[in-house]
Amino acid sequence: MTTPYPGLTPSHRTRALFKWLALLGAATFGLGLLFARQRALSSFLLLNIGFLGMGLGAAFFIALQYVCGAHWAVALRRVPEAMCGILPWAALGILITILVGRSLYPWTEEHATGMKGVILSYPFVLGRTVVFLGIWLLLVRALVHGSRLQDDTGDASLSESNVRLSAVFLVVFGLTFWVAVFDWVMSLEPEWYSTMYGVYHFAGLFLGAIAAIIILVVWLSRVGPLRSVLTAEHLHDLGKLLFGFSTFWMYIWFSEYMLIWYADFPEETAHFVRRLTGGWGPLFVANMVVTWLIPFFILLPKPVKRNPDMLVRVACMILFGRWLDLYLLIYPAAVGHETVTFGVLELGMALGAPGLFMLVFVRAYRACAPVPIADPLLNASLSHHQ
């Protein structure tokens, strides 16, 4: 099928960069498993939760657009759709972590008692993991498939069936995601619990996905496929979302912190004490500064949200903040809170993640037309204005 939109053909150098980064990450992970197993597994969990956030965040973005009947982002929809391509990899990574990384989870050794013992029993956790990952993969796959099929058939009823599918996905995602992060991340400290934990992870997940969408659409508008598509109007709306969800993340962060600070129960404050002592304090503050404080003031004026260069810089800062946030959630619990552990292993794997992500993204993006050419809302999206 011919389209007026050029396909994505990254230069040889760009592809080589992604490949070498991914190889670097894989090599450091392999060596890490041999020499510093706990750190390697913790980093592996961190990056796979990050990948999961990218995939589910992108799917959430698509689903939200469908159920709202929003037209503005239709022309850019292939970007979040291709981001969903990382989901099977993230699912595999999380499954491997649960199967191989039992040493991360104290409850696999010292069993809890009562209801908590039932919820944190290994077969039950493994079963939930498989079910959640399976349902998400099936729903997201169907959503992306429906959108791609429309390119060939031009059938407008596919939009309607995707609206229904999106509604199902949103409900299922909302009911399962918080349990999943309880199982995979919060249970690293099984004696600590917070009812804000699920929504806190959701805030970070969607924020990270918006930041990635911004970087990718700007990149694609520079290298070809979205050159005649992406306008300052689209960027303005994406910038507003980035601004809004950066603030939403901070709001949820503070809501969790303040309730625990106020009540001052030792078993609850332990979580924050571990992250404020032993050299973690500056990172704890830096997390808020790079994810919210600086982005908030930079993104306030309207012209910044319409400027691709500025928006990409802020998005990069927020993605770094996402890594730092997950690092602060996982490392003090799984590796040790007495000292800050960061070395070649963490750096190598963190650099490998964007390499692998981009390899998967480019492959998924090239699998179909760069713009949903048969979507009934495409023209409205192309001429979108505030």
| Residue ranges in contact with another protein by CB under 8 A | 254, 257-258, 261-262, 264, 300-302, 385-386
CB of 130 to another protein, least distance (A): 40
Residue 122 or 261: which CB sits closer to another protein? 261
SS3 251: helix
Sign of the C-alpha dihedral computed for residues 354, 146, 73 and 2 taken in this order: positive
> Following CA atoms 245, 209, 188, 184 in sequence, which dihedral angle do they give, to the nearest 10 degrees?
120
Residue 30 or 301: which CB sits closer to another protein? 301
CB of 278 to another protein, least distance (A): 21
CB of 188 to another protein, least distance (A): 25
Sign of the C-alpha dihedral computed for residues 210, 212, 215 and 219 taken in this order: negative
CB neighbours of 120 closer than 8 A, spacing ≥ 6?
A: 107, 111, 112, 187, 190
How many residues can be counted in the chain? Answer: 386
SS3 154: coil
Block residue for tokens 């981001």: 83
CB of 304 to another protein, least distance (A): 12
CB of 181 to another protein, least distance (A): 24
CB of 254 to another protein, least distance (A): 6
Residue 167 or 300: which CB sits closer to another protein? 300
CB of 298 to another protein, least distance (A): 14
Residue 99 or 258: which CB sits closer to another protein? 258
Residue 257 or 342: which CB sits closer to another protein? 257
Residue 109 or 264: which CB sits closer to another protein? 264
Block residue for tokens 């490998």: 352
CB of 305 to another protein, least distance (A): 12
Residue 179 or 259: which CB sits closer to another protein? 259
CB neighbours of 174 closer than 8 A, spacing ≥ 6?
A: none
Residue 170 or 232: which CB sits closer to another protein? 232
Contact 22, 352 (CB under 8 A): yes
Output phi, psi for 28, to 5 deg: -65, -35
Contact 143, 63 (CB under 8 A): yes
CB neighbours of 181 closer than 8 A, spacing ≥ 6?
A: 49, 197, 198, 201
Angle 331-360-59 from CA coordinates, rounded to 5°: 75
Sign of the C-alpha dihedral computed for residues 344, 346, 347 and 348 taken in this order: positive
